[in-house]
Structure 1
Amino acid sequence: MRSSHVMVAAILLLAAGCTKGETPAQESPSQAAATAGAPCEFRVVKGEPPQWARAGFQPDAMIHYASSRRGDMLAVLFGYPLFSPPMPDRGNKILWRSKLPLVPSDPLRIEARLDGVGTPVRITVDGGPGPSGIDLPSPGCWRLDLTWSSHADSIDLEYVGR
Structure 2
Amino acid sequence: MIGDKGEIAAVLFGYPYHAPAAKGRANKILWVAKDAQGAADLGPDDRLTIKASLAGTNEVATRSVAGGPGPSDIDMPKPGCWKFSLSWPGHSDSLDIEYLAG
| TM-score above 0.5 | yes
Residue 124 (structure 1) shift: 1.1
For structure 2, which runs of at least 5 residues remain unmatched after alignment? none
Match for residue 151 of structure 1 among 88, 91, 97: 91
- Sort the Cα spacing of 1:69 and 1:85 in 2 relative to 1 into closer, same or farther, 3 A: same
- Tell me if the contact between 1:110 and 1:122 (Cα under 8 Å) persists in the aligned partners: yes
2:76 matches 1:141: no
Instruction: From the two aligned structures, give the one with the greater helix fraction.
Output: 1
Shift in alpha-carbon separation, 1:67–1:135, aligned structure 2, 3 A = same
Deviation at 1:159, TM superposition (A): 0.4
Q: Does 1:95 align with 2:30?
A: yes
Secondary structure class of the residue paired with 1:135: coil
Change (3 A) 1:116 1:126: farther
Give SS of 1:87's match: coil
**TM-score, normalised with respect to structure 1:** 0.57
Percent same amino acid among aligned pairs? 45
Q: What's the C-alpha RMSD, in Å, of the aligned pairs?
A: 1.4
Compare the two structures and name the one with the higher strand fraction. Answer: 2
Number of aligned residue pairs: give it.
Answer: 97
Bigger-Rg structure (1/2): 1
Q: Structure 1 residue runs of 4+, over 6 Å off?
A: none
Of 104, 109, 126, the residue aligned with 2:49 is 109
Alignment of 1:26-65 (within 5 A): none
